[in-house]
């Protein structure tokens, strides 16, 4: 049985200075492929669901599938709820078994972010769950300004204040990262990661893990990042595999063969990403 609280997996990563990949999933296959890859790499993994996707695969089903796959392998597997703004949804997810949740108040005024995050941390405590908060602007990778303008990055003193006043477990930081396909190569601010890490002494989270060069990912982990979120690159690998299968004469009407083809190439990507971080 290897299903574990995501927080415990992240805690171990932080203590032992490695990174854990947290892959966004949205169906049976994406959960299965991520957990199969962890088994192959013999390293822990997290799967996370983005709010909205539960209209396709419910929190309950996601948790049950994840736990079942995890029960068959030896390495730890954890479950996390990504970017959530809604306390009813957070409660629902925690009740279903998501014992790690992100409350994203980064778009709110600072004091409101603190107030709401504190409230969520209090609710999470009732469930024995860990909370990831966000501070700074982690925008879209299509807009260069969003990840090069340092005034949008996480302020280390504010990060410490938010940490001290809320009861969160981990913090997602804006340090030159953004979500989606980077228009230009990102250039992470390692000094800032290190400063925040030294102040908070708690695991930091890197969103927008797709398209960041491996050497930067490794350096970020050395500076205090323990959880790295990856969605865009995973989904690309999935679509590319299916596309290649069909373009090479595969039968597009044979969904079973399409999914088997998706698994093969996607698996290479997942194993490699897990290994780069750990």
Which residues between 233 and 262 bind ligand 13P (CB under 6 A)?
233
Q: Does 210 bind ligand 13P (CB under 6 A)?
A: yes
Cβ distance 84 to 17 under 8 Å? no
Burial category of 119 from C-beta neighbours within 10 Å (exposed 0-12, middle 13-18, buried 19 and up): middle
Q: Which stretch binds ligand 13P (CB under 6 A): 129-137, 162-170, 202-210, 250-258?
A: 202-210
Nearer to ligand 13P, 182 or 245 (CB): 182
Q: Does 170 bind ligand 13P (CB under 6 A)?
A: no
Return the H-helix or E-strand segment holding 127.
helix 110-127
Helices 255-277, 214-223: axis angle to 10 degrees equals: 50
- One of 139, 203, 208, 224 touching ligand 13P (CB under 6 A): 208
Strands (E), 69-183: 77-84, 100-103, 130-135, 170-173
Q: How far is the CB of 22 from ligand 13P (least distance, A)?
A: 8
With CB under 6 A, what is the number of residues at the site for ligand 13P?
Answer: 14
Which residues between 30 and 89 bind ligand 13P (CB under 6 A)?
82-83
Phi first, then psi, for residue 107 (nearest 5°) are -90, -5
Tell me the C-alpha distance between 274 and 278, whole Å: 6
Cβ distance 276 to 40 under 8 Å? no
Which residues between 216 and 235 bind ligand 13P (CB under 6 A)?
229-233
Q: Which stretch binds ligand 13P (CB under 6 A): 60-68, 113-121, 193-201, 206-214?
A: 206-214
Among 12, 36, 82, 145, which one carries the catalytic annotation? Answer: 82
Tell me the C-alpha distance between 71 and 192, whole Å: 39
Q: How far is the CB of 106 from ligand 13P (least distance, A)?
A: 12
Nearer to ligand 13P, 135 or 230 (CB): 230
Question: Which parts of this chain interact with ligand 13P (CB under 6 A)?
Answer: 24, 82-83, 179-180, 207-210, 229-233
Residues designated catalytic: 82
């Amino acid at each position: 049985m290897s299903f574990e609280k995501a927080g415990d997996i992240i805690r171990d990563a932080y203590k032992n200075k490695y990174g854990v990949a947290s892959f966004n999933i949205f169906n049976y296959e994406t959960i299965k492929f991520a957990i199969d890859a962890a088994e192959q790499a013999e390293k822990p993994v997290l799967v996370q669901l983005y709010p909205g996707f539960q209209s396709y695969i419910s929190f309950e089903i996601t948790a049950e599938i994840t736990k079942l796959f995890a029960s068959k392998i030896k390495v730890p597997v954890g479950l996390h709820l990504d970017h959530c703004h809604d306390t009813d949804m957070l409660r629902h997810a925690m009740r279903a078994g998501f014992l790690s949740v992100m409350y994203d108040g980064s778009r709110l005024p600072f004091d409101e972010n603190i107030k709401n995050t504190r409230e969520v941390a209090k609710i999470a405590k009732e469930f024995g769950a860990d909370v990831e908060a966000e501070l700074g602007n982690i925008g879209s990778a299509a807009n260069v300004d969003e990840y090069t303008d340092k005034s949008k990055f996480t302020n280390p003193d504010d990060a410490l204040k938010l940490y001290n006043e809320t009861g969160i477990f981990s913090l997602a930081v804006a340090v030159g990262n953004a979500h989606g396909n980077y228009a230009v190569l990102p250039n992470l601010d390692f000094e800032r990661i290190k400063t925040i890490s030294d102040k908070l002494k708690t695991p930091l989270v890197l969103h927008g893990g797709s398209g960041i060069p491996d050497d930067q990912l490794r350096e970020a982990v050395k500076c205090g990042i323990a959880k790295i979120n990856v969605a865009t690159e995973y989904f690309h690998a999935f679509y590319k595999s299916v596309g290649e299968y069909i373009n090479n004469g595969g039968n597009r009407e044979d969904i079973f063969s399409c999914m088997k083809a998706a698994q093969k190439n996607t698996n290479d990507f997942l194993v490699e990403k897990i290994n780069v971080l750990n």
